Amino acid sequence: MVKRLALQALAIATFIALWWVAAAYASSQLLPTPGQTLREFIHILSSSKGWESIGNTAFRVLAGTLIGLLAGTLLAITTRYSSLAEVAVRSVIYPLLQSVPSICWALMLVIWFGLSQTAPILVIAVAVAPFFIINIWEGLKELDMSLVEMAGTYTRSRLKILGKVIMPMLYSYIFAAVKSSFMVAWKVVILAEVLGAVSGIGYMLWISYQVYNIDRVFAWTMISAIIIIAFDYGIFNYIDRRFMRKWKPRELKPS
Amino acid sequence: METTGTEALVVKDLRKGFGPLGVLGGISFAVGRGELVCILGPSGCGKTTLLRIAAGLIPFDSGTVLINGDDIRKNRDCLKNVSVVFQEPRLLPWRSARQNVYLSLELRKDGRDGRDLEAVDGALALVGLSEFSSSYPHELSGGMRQRVSLARAIVTEPEILLMDEPLTGLDLRNREELQDEILRIWSQKKVTLVLVTHDPAEAIHMADRIIVLSERPAHIKGIINVSIPRPRPRDSCAVREMENTIRGLFGEDGEHENPRR
């Protein structure tokens, strides 16, 4: 464990050293040094405008992921109960969501909704919905039908069976989708903000680029990366250990 | 068959096939209220199919199934009086024993009732698992898990309890212990109990009557009244004699499996 941490620290230090060397040879117009980036980084984090932008973007990521989660989950589950929905989702909606590049969705949504909160949020929702659809399909395929049958001997209400038996079996699949969609959401939102927002990290990046403040572009890039890493390693791992264990299928003790 | 309308379960000329494969070839019998009937037959003879049909889980080709005089095809509400115990416990792994027992009440009832949890604890006590009510299925042994599923089935106060080889996965000691426990619950709750088994000794130990099924497509080879007074000894002349009678129904070719020997 200690050895691992030391190696990780060494890897990061090497990266920074290489960056330093490269920056020393390149023009500061092309590549700022780690020191310059750090200075700008601290500058951003000590301004209320900086935190406001991070907050704006985080809100969009959250709202967009939530909408994508609800829409994707609903779409995937209806395919279990209606053959019409099955055809619609499998042969139209899912391929469409999956194959149209995010940048195209972003352009279209900005055209439809203008420079507003709506466009970036919907771009995220559209980008992450397929993760939920595909993960829940996987979950439904692995569904323990013997439990569903057992529940069916106590009620005829499909809704009750869905809520009490089927959905809990899907939680770990939904969580896996949240995890993988989060990174995509974060990348997509910045793109969408560059195109169609007047606040947020993407917008700040765009402004920094417009005035050719390369230090600031780098600092914002670093902030984005740190947020994604923090979520993936810290928060999701914690949720996984603390809450998700219970919902995972488990080997039973032999009788 | 004569039926007086007071029988808990009546099966009349029941036929069922899966594709070209005949599984049930015209089965008729009746189970009286409070009676304990074992359905005995070799593996794969269709006895589980028979039970699943009676539980309303799968459709059938022709014939009639009546529960308390109601045709299950016409009035599915009569199945509310029926609980099923499966061969595997089928517990929800994310719920504790107590929550697993509570599930059947949650599913069957429309609203919450303050006394529901009392009923759950009562059912767990009845199967001797009060101390394990907060344990999760993976923490329980096979026998305990099957007890939880038994508690889940009886907490809804069913009139009819259908059991599909509930003890098959267990070792002999657990099996005999649970046989007696099921008997105790049956006489205490005064439920009608239909138990499917492939073990003649189990059927003789438990049943008022044994319905012996043939190989597939199943028909009834014989119905045996077991008049040995309870508690029944596990090994006595009367028991051995009855085992021989049953073996006689299958012929002496030893085709029938008997895990007790």
> For A250, which of B90, B93, B143 is closest by C-beta distance?
B93
Taking only the tens place, the pLDDT of each residue in A167-177 is 999 998 999 89
Q: Is residue B193 part of a domain?
A: yes
* Cis bond before residue B231 (omega within 30° of 0): yes
| CATH number of the domain residue B190 falls in | 3.40.50.300
Do A139 and A173 touch, CB atoms closer than 8 A?
A: yes
Q: Is residue B127 part of a domain?
A: no
- Reduced to 3 states, what is the DSSP secondary structure of residue B214? coil
- Which residues of chain B are modeled with pLDDT < 70? 1-5, 251-261
Q: Is residue B226 part of a domain?
A: yes
Q: Is residue B76 part of a domain?
A: yes
* Domain residue ranges in chain A: 34-245
- With a CB cutoff of 8 Å and minimum separation 6, the contacts of A114 are A196
User: How many separate domains does chain B show?
Assistant: 1
CA dist., res. A240 & res. B122, Å (int): 35
Count residue pairs from A and B with Cβ separation < 8 A: 63
Domain of residue B204 covers: 9-90+159-250
> Phi, psi (5° rounding) for residue B196?
-95, 135
What was the ipTM of the complex prediction?
0.89
CB contact under 8 A, B108 and A155: yes
Q: Which residues pair with B220 in a beta bridge?
A: B213
> For A253, which of B90, B108, B141 is closest by C-beta distance?
B141
The reported pLDDT for the residue numbered B254 is: 46
CB contact under 8 A, A255 and B94: no
Taking only the tens place, the pLDDT of each residue in A40-81 is 999 999 999 999 999 999 999 999 999 999 999 999 999 999
CATH architecture group of domain A34-245: Orthogonal Bundle (1.10)
| pTM attached to this predicted model | 0.83
Angle formed by the axes of helices A167-196 and A214-229, nearest 10°: 180
**Closest residue in chain B to residue A159, using alpha carbons only:** B107
CA dist., res. A72 & res. A78, Å (int): 10
Helix (H) or strand (E) holding B103: helix B97-108
> For A255, which of B56, B104, B143 is closest by C-beta distance?
B143
Q: Is residue B39 part of a domain?
A: yes
Q: Does A241 touch chain B (CB under 8 A)?
A: no
Check whether A190 has a pLDDT greater than 50.
yes
In angstroms, what CA-CA distances link A220 with A54, A58, A180, A182, B162? 10, 14, 22, 18, 66
Q: Is residue B149 part of a domain?
A: no
Question: β-pairing, B9-18 with B62-67?
Answer: antiparallel
Chain B closest-CA separation from residue A168 CA (Å)? 8
Helix (H) or strand (E) holding B213: strand B209-213
CB contact under 8 A, B90 and A168: no
Q: Does A160 touch chain B (CB under 8 A)?
A: yes
CA dist., res. B72 & res. B59, Å (int): 10
- Reduced to 3 states, what is the DSSP secondary structure of residue A154? coil
CB contact under 8 A, B103 and A153: no
B90, B135, B173: which to substitute to probe chain A, counting the most A Cβ within 10 Å?
B90
Chain A closest-CA separation from residue B229 CA (Å)? 32
Q: Tell which residue, A92, A189, A188, has the closest CA to residue A133.
A: A92
